[in-house]
Amino acid sequence: MIPQTDPKAAYLAQRAAIDAAIQRVLERGRYILGDEVAAFEREFAAYIGARHAIAVASGTDALVLALKAIEVGPADYVATVSHTAVATVAAIELAGARPLLLDIDPASCTLDPAALERVLVAPPGRIAAIVPVHLYGLPADLDAILPLARRHGARVIEDCAQSHGARLGTARTGAFGDLAAFSFYPTKNLGALGDGGLVATADEGLAERLRALREYGWRERYVSDLAGMNSRLDEIQAAVLRVKLSALEADNGRRAAIAAAYDQGLAGLKLTLPGRRVGASHVFHQYVVRSARRDPLRAALTARGIGTNIHYPVPVHLQPAYRGRVALAAAGLGESERAAHEVLSLPLYPQLAEAAVAETIAALKALA
């Protein structure tokens, strides 16, 4: 069986260093918000080119805390896409704001700037923030999104859960918006051995507020100046992430090499291959093809022992918890709905063997 992803392989690739890092934490005896977390925050901030990095318990919490830091309220809308992990939208509601879901550009599956401009010109209410999702490893079109946001007075919070190391021009994602939220879920390009997240910002005031918000609003221990929450990255996860950060560039390079092999091997088939954007580097968190015959194609690959996944099978606005009650762009979300019926994620992770890539290509040539 060829798995679609394999977080255990990532652990085994750096087993000795990871085990040593965990042992170091266990012997030190401090397990929450200690030296490892502080060191990881410094190292990750330097890597993405941010002034501040605040580590938290999950990627969802990172988005919630970023929104709380800018003080969104119950009358505020936060614009984002429906073709995303549900965490993006759940976080908006957890922060006390109202999601406003927009359509995607079909070539990139990221937020369509034209859809954003339409809603900013005629909003249903105050749009306090925009959350562009850098999807599958490809940065959203921030060159278009950021000027629109500035023009209309909306904050930008980058959802970088799938874009660790991706670049726009010479800068990495996470260094463009007012804030940026990262996830370190085990299957991410930079994955922990459990949950973890981080908020990045260049704003000293927002950083100070986030450090308080992640720990009950404390600036002085046991005294809550703000109504905060408990969202603290533990020392073991930080130690693991420090080890894995050292290999991120090499791992992203391997992902790009696998993607290039897929590009070459699948050219000419009845598949739509992943889009690219001029001036943006793709770090291939997923290699996502599109097919009008997605479901039978997936079933045939499964029968051949080739794992796939669907990111994402149901747009958020059509899921039972959200259908009929979240605000949608007036023009509809036709591209998001179309993508949900066509997208298919092929096997891709840095330790994937070349023989497995070749086998996947051969199977698709026989089936597509």
147 has pLDDT over 90: yes
Q: Where in the chain is the domain with CATH 3.40.640.10?
A: 7-245
Looking at residue 153, its pLDDT comes to: 97
pLDDT for 356? 98
Residue with tokens 């369509």: 112
pLDDT of residue 368: 78
What pTM, to 2 d.p., does this model score? 0.97
pLDDT confidence band for 171 (50 / 70 / 90):
very high
Q: What is the CATH T-level fold of the domain 248-367, as seen in this structure?
A: Aspartate Aminotransferase, domain 1 (3.90.1150)
- pLDDT at position 352: 98
**CA neighbor of 160 nearest in space, from 211, 199, 203:** 199
For the chain, residues classed under CATH 3.90.1150.10 are 248-367
Rounded Cα–Cα distance for residues 53 and 206 (Å) = 11
Indicate the SS3 state at residue 306: strand
In percent, the amount of the chain with pLDDT more than 70 equals: 100
- Report d(CA 124, CA 204) in Å as an integer: 32
- What is the CA 333 to chain-centroid distance, rounded? 21
Give mean pLDDT, residues 56-80. Answer: 98
CA 269 to chain CA centroid, Å, is 29
DSSP classification of residue 78: E
Backbone conformation region of residue 216, classed left if phi is above 0, alpha if psi is from -120 to 50, else beta:
left
Q: Which fold has domain 7-245?
A: Aspartate Aminotransferase; domain 2 (3.40.640)
Would the pLDDT of 35 be above 90?
yes
Question: Model confidence over 43-61: pLDDT tens digits?
Answer: 999 999 999 999 999 999 9
